[in-house]
Amino acid sequence: MKLDLFDLINSKGKELNKEIPIEMDEFDSPSGNYPITAKSPLQLYLSNGQGRELSLKSEAHLKAHAPCDRCLTDVEIDVDIDYEIEIPISDGKLVIDEMDAPGCIDGLILDTEQLVYDEILMNWPMKVLCKEDCKGICNKCGCNLNNRTCDCDRTVVDPRMAAIQDVFNKFKEV
């Protein structure tokens, strides 16, 4: 949903409280697409601080599902959106610093879906794990090592020593 901020910026002391439903059903990130399974409406609070600054606060809670980075088990991820920014106002326009520019504001238009997307992206975990001590999957047979063990040889050979390893294997007694 896109909100026009013109009236708010040109009315000193004006406030706006809105509850906006989040339309996003899937989080499309550079690392993949993840379904959003639960979401609360976006609580949006905007206020014009006597014509000097626009205060923007928003809150929401989302749940999404993503595969564990080690064993590919489905993991539920909780994302709390808690965004707060104050933007100076000058001559009826927002004074946005290029370094701190929020991607959700274009001119006098606030894009709430972009705000939600940016906050999910910022709060998304760097590594999704089903548990801290996840053992992952066997790179030989593909079994989940959290559920069972396998008899595969999982020793990692240094590639620089591979030629010498072949010599030892050739002369190994059976």
Q: Read off the pLDDT of residues 97-125 as tens digits, 9 standing for 90 and up.
A: 765 667 788 888 889 999 999 999 999 99
- Residue-wise pLDDT tens digits, 71-80: 999 999 999 9
36-69 per-position pLDDT tens digit: 999 999 999 999 877 788 888 999 999 999 999 9
**Domain for residue 28, yes or no?**
yes
Domain-embedded: residue 151? no
Q: Residue 108: CA atoms inside 13 Å, Cβ hemisphere, count? A: 12
Q: Summarize pLDDT for 9-45 with one digit per residue, the tens.
A: 888 888 889 999 999 999 998 888 999 999 999 999 9
Q: Is residue 47 part of a domain?
A: yes
Give the global pTM. 0.78
Structural domain including 7 reads: 2-123
Query: How many structural domains is the chain composed of?
Result: 1
Contacts of 12 (CB under 8 A, 6+ apart): 48, 50, 51
